[in-house]
Chains A and B, each alone.
Chain A
Amino acid sequence: MIRDRWEYVRAETLAGALTLLASRSDAYPLAGGTDLVIAGRLGRIRGGVAVDISAVPELQGITAFPTEAGGVRLRIGAATTVSALLQDELVQQKLPALVDAGRLLGGWQIQNLATVGGNMCNASPSAELSPPLLVHRAEAVIAGPEGSRRLGVDRFWTGPGKTALARGELLVAVELETGGASAYVRHQIRRSVDIALASAAAWVSVEDERIAGARLALGAVAPAPLLVDVAEEVAGVPVRQAPGKEPDDPGAFGPALAKRLQRVERLAFAAARPITDVRASADYRRAVVGVLARRALLRAVQRALAVSEDVETRSG
Chain B
Amino acid sequence: MNRVIRINGTEWPADVPPTTPLSDFLREHAGLTGTKIGCRTGECGACTVLLDGRPVTSCLVWVARAWGRDVTTVEGLGDDQRLDPVQVAFLELNAAQCGFCIPGLLVSARALLDEAAARGWPPTALEVRERLSGHLCRCTGYQKIVEAVLKAAENGMKEMRLELG
> Quick check: is B48 within 8 A (CB to CB) of the other chain?
yes
Contact among B1, B18, B56 for A112, CB-based, below 8 A: B56
- Residues of chain B at interface, number, CB under 8 A: 27
Query: Given that A37-B60, A50-B19, A192-B130 are known contacts, is A109 also in contact with B65, CB under 8 Å in the complex?
Result: no
In the assembly, what is the distance between CA of A50 and CA of B1, in Å? 17
> Quick check: is B161 within 8 A (CB to CB) of the other chain?
no
Contact among B43, B65, B108 for A108, CB-based, below 8 A: B108
Contact A107 B135 (CB under 8 A): yes
In the assembly, what is the distance between CA of A54 and CA of B64, in Å? 12
- Chain A residue numbers with a CB within 8 Å of B103 are none
Contact B42 A106 (CB under 8 A): yes
- Chain B residue numbers with a CB within 8 Å of A32 are 60
- Residues of chain A at interface, number, CB under 8 A: 26
Q: How far is the CB of A12 from chain B (nearest CB, A)?
A: 10
- Chain A residue numbers with a CB within 8 Å of B19 are 6-8, 50
Contact B65 A54 (CB under 8 A): yes
Q: How far is the CB of A63 from chain B (nearest CB, A)?
A: 22
Q: Name B135's closest neighbour in chain A (CB-CB).
A: A107
Q: Name A41's closest neighbour in chain B (CB-CB).
A: B40
Interface flags, B128-165, vs A, CB<8A=1, else 0: 00111111000000000000000000000000000000
> Quick check: is A199 within 8 A (CB to CB) of the other chain?
no
In the assembly, what is the distance between CA of A33 and CA of B43, in Å? 14
> Quick check: is A52 within 8 A (CB to CB) of the other chain?
yes
Q: How far is the CB of B149 from chain A (nearest CB, A)?
A: 13
In the assembly, what is the distance between CA of A118 and CA of B89, in Å? 38
- Chain A residue numbers with a CB within 8 Å of B1 are 10
Q: How far is the CB of A199 from chain B (nearest CB, A)?
A: 18
- Chain B residue numbers with a CB within 8 Å of A192 are 130, 133-134
Contact B134 A107 (CB under 8 A): yes
> Can you list 12 A-B contacts (CB < 8 A)?
A6-B62, A8-B18, A33-B60, A34-B42, A106-B42, A107-B132, A107-B134, A108-B131, A109-B57, A110-B134, A113-B57, A193-B134
Q: Nearest 9 pairs between A and B by C-beta?
A: A107-B134, A192-B133, A8-B18, A6-B19, A112-B54, A109-B57, A109-B55, A109-B134, A107-B133
Q: Which residues of B contact A (CB under 8 A)?
A: 1, 18-19, 21, 40-43, 45, 48, 51, 54-57, 60-62, 64-65, 108, 130-135
